[in-house]
Structures are given as structure tokens and as C-alpha cells.
A and B are shown apart, each in its own frame.
Chain A
């Protein structure tokens, strides 16, 4: 098994400039996180808002540079702050965002949204671009007739499928999924999760799945990393983490997750009756 992504001691600080009355300060969003993901596997990064998981996601997707630490993609070190981001590297990592209503340009047709990455990064001729877009459109469960429509004509779930298709246009090795199903309805969520699983099998994709929803993580992840205030407090295989959480925060998180099984409802009702 080859390692697709490796992060060594990633740190990201935000500098908040001072003003007349306030002192300048530095916010540590990510405090030295290390992990690695193998080809075809899914690493889930779990945490609550403000824990730095999205910041980390942006660093992994080569959108923002890390303040320090090394990021290796297929064993090759990349530092976008130094400007060594080639189109070749750019193509290897793509992202799917949380909010399907904000991630598609409302003024672009689906066809243009899908082919844009090819237009920018490759010299593929127009009809090949179109063919590839059509193929992926069908692969994510949409139809050819959707090619010339605008994003607002689609539902949230369909838009998320389009966003996934766009991410796949450049044949990436690694897909960063930033809460891809948390804005979707339960039934649509199941469809999108299935789609992601199908695509992973077919293309041997590697996922970094950022989420706050433990039930989804338990379903999709191979490995789990729990983040709390910028630190990785728990990191291990899914079964290890769920069966035997080590850190107190992980335990709190598990305890807080609402359970929808009959036994816990019985227990609750019994407790209520007793009170």
C-alpha cells in the first residue's frame, strides 16, 4: 500500500493585527498535526466548530499554506508559500465543500462548471472535454440533459453530485471532503455517501473526510482523527477509536451524540416515568 498523503507536524497560525486599543495577537488554528493516509482509504477528521478541521482541510487542498510543517503528496513535498505548486500537483488534490448552494458558480452552466478545470489546466480539445464531463455527469447519477442547465435548477443533493463530478474532472488522487453531507437531508445524505463509496471503489480514490457527525464517520471512515482546539487528541483506526476512546474529549463527544435505537429510547422513557 502506498501512502498518498502525509502530514508532518502541520501548524497554522493566524495573525490578528492589533489596532489602536488592542494588541496584535496570534491565533493557533492548527497546532502540530501529523498523520498519513494510504491509497484507497478514508481518513475522517472529526471535531466541533472552531477546532481547526476546516483550516486543516484548506491546507491539505493547497488553498492556504501551512505556517510550518511538511505536507507530502505521493511522497513529494509541497510548500505553496514557496510557490512550487505546479498544475501537475494541483490536479492531484481536489475538494468538495459543505454547502452545495455556495460551491457552484450561479452564473455558470453545469457544463462550464465541469469543464473549467480542464480548460485551465490542460490543452484538451473542446469535444473531449465535453465527453469527459458527460461521462462523469452520468457517473454521479445525473443525465446528459443537465449539461446546459444552471445550478439553481438543481436540488441540494444534485448540486453536491455536480460538485463531486467537478472534483473528479482532473482525475485527482486525493479528495478532501469538507462536511459534504451535513447540509443534506437524511435520504439524500445516504445517496451521496453511497456515491462516494462507489467512486472510491472504482477510481481507488483516497478521501479525507471532514465531519462533525459521528454516525456518518463511523459508517465511512477507515481511520479517525479527533481534533480539539487545533490538536489531534485521538488518532487511530475506526474500530479502535469507537470501541475504546482514550481522550476525555472523545468520550464526551460520543456521550453527547444522540442515539436513535430502541433500547436507548426505552431507557429514557423508563427514567422519565421513574422521575
Chain B
């Protein structure tokens, strides 16, 4: 059975100039212990579809779907209270800006213990012990010492490690990473990706990696969903996608990578890919 199952998800935003459809009929499945990458450029609706699944969108968004289940339970009909019990515990999420995702007013130790208290109800001593364990698991040196630090005293990479520690605190079944390394340097990105892959394997979590970086996809994913302008263009396992892409959009995207440049000019999407082909590919 699939861990997260989305069928025909549509998200619309109410704006001053009329409704705006950010996600248009996207379907996907994530299985236990699988790494699914969702790739797309800005405006492709890749983050919005995940936020919608988690019910984290503002009230201006209208979310509809034929099916939206987590572990067999329907997320759409669930009350906000029930949903809150699942999110943060069984589904965890990490974001692009690690420093901004942490509350600057509290120590990182307080923030991780808060999660442990709310979702697991551990007592003070157990919380602290578990927090230290988690910091060790995500590779923070000197964990006991580091618990007393404030986010601004840590680097971006360290903050992302803290975010990951908070995310895995309750042994989630599914971790959604929304551009987890975009704000980080290449060498740090490598460390964080390695860490995520290791944790994913150790905990047997499902991992959804939202990214725009084809390199990150190539280095992490088992299966890939390609999105463009709110639609799903292609879904394939990672090797097939890079070796033999089905949709024109994916082909254009791969050709636009500077690594694959052959001449002295890069082929651009508009040359290779015309908008009306989207309709064909989506069908």
C-alpha cells in the first residue's frame, strides 16, 4: 500500500485578478522507504502540491482532490485536530531556509524538546536524552553543548541539521524536504544530502525531495515526478528519466543543463519545447 497517495489534486488561489490555478490535476504515490523527487521550475506547483497535501496552505487556497490519503487514512475529510496529530509526527517537513525555519527567540534545544513534548509526551530528562541522541544522529558535534545555542549562532548547514533532527524526532513515516539544500553551499549541500540519504535508509522513511536541481535529483531519487505549470509532465524511475526521457519538457530541461552543453550555445526550452505540447504530454 502506498504511504501517500494523491489523485487529481487541484489547488486554486483567489487573487485580485481572479482565480489562479497553481496545481492542475496532479497524481502521485509514495511508497514506504522510497525516495521520490518532484522536479520543476518556479511556478510549477511542486511545493504547493505538497503543502496542500499537508493542509498548510493559507485559507485563500481551494484544495480539491479525488483522493488524498496518508497510510490509508483520508486527509481531506480529517478534522484539523486529527490532521495536526499526523503532521509533524508521522509526516515531517523541512524547508529551504533553515535559519528562517527556526524561531530566533528560543534555543534550538528548546525547540526540539518542544516537539518531543507535544508529540511524544516525554518527561524532561527523557526529552533531553532524546534531543542529544537526535543531534548525534544528524552529525552535530558537541550535541549537549549545542542544545543551548540560538539559531543565529549557528551556520546555515548546522541549522538545516537541527531542522532535520526536529523532523525525525518522532520517527516519521514520511519526510518531505522542500528544496532542503538550495540555500546552502555546494560542499554543505553534499553533506546534507548524504545525511538525508543515510537517515532515510536507517529509518526506512519515505522521502519526498522537492527540488529544481537536476543534480540533486540524480544523486538522491529512486523515482521522479516532473512538473511544469501545475501539471505533471512525466513520472519515471530516475535512470529511465535521465537515459530516455519521455516528455519533451524533460528532454528540454536536461538539454539546458550546462553540463550537457555540446556547442557554444545552450539549447533553450523555448526552442525545444512549445507550450501547446504541454497539453499533449499531460494527457
Contact = CB atoms under 8 A, between A and B. Distances in A.
Q: Is A in direct contact with B (CB under 8 Å) within the complex?
A: yes
B259 interface: yes
A260 B41 contact: no
A275 B253 CA distance: 31
A160 B139 CA distance: 39
Interface in A208-258: 212, 214-216, 218-220, 252-253, 255-258
B214 A260 contact: yes
Contacts of A191: 268, 270
Nearest to A252: B187
A273 to B, nearest CB: 11
Q: Looking at B186, B214, B239, which has the most chain A CB atoms within 10 Å of its CB?
A: B186
Q: Looking at A187, A194, A215, A216, which has the most chain B CB atoms within 10 Å of its CB?
A: A187
Interface string B28-50: 00000000000001100000000
Interface in B185-201: 185-190, 193, 201
B115 interface: no
Q: Looking at B187, B190, B253, B258, which has the most chain A CB atoms within 10 Å of its CB?
A: B258
A219 B267 CA distance: 13
B42 A185 contact: yes
Given A194-B266, A268-B219, A48 B243 contact: no
B218 interface: yes
A237 B256 CA distance: 24
Nearest to A189: B256
A258 B215 contact: yes
B51 interface: no
Contact of A186 (B193, B239, B257): B257
DSSP class of B's interface residues: helix, strand, loop or mixed? helix
A259 B215 CA distance: 5
B242 interface: yes
B265 interface: yes
B25 to A, nearest CB: 22
Contacts of B41: 185-188
B186 A190 contact: no
A261 B186 CA distance: 18
Nearest to B187: A256
Contact of B214 (A48, A186, A188): A186
B261 interface: yes
DSSP class of A's interface residues: helix, strand, loop or mixed? helix
A269 interface: yes
A140 to B, nearest CB: 14
B213 A197 contact: no
Contacts of A189: 256, 258
Interface string B106-121: 0000000000000000
A265 B266 contact: no
A260 B217 contact: yes
Contacts of B131: none
B253 A261 contact: no
Interface in B30-80: 41-42
A48 B190 CA distance: 13
B186 A256 contact: yes
B258 A219 contact: yes
A258 B257 contact: no
A265 B260 CA distance: 15
A193 interface: yes
Contacts of A49: 185
B169 interface: no
A43 B83 CA distance: 53
Interface string A152-194: 0000100000000000000000000000000001111111011
Nearest to B189: A256
A197 B263 CA distance: 12
B258 A215 contact: yes
Contacts of B264: 197
A23 interface: no
A264 interface: yes
Given A48-B186, A197-B264, A187 B269 contact: yes
B189 A190 contact: no
B258 A269 contact: no
B258 A193 contact: yes
B252 interface: yes
Nearest 8 CB-CB pairings of A with B: A258-B215, A187-B269, A256-B190, A185-B41, A48-B185, A219-B258, A190-B266, A190-B256
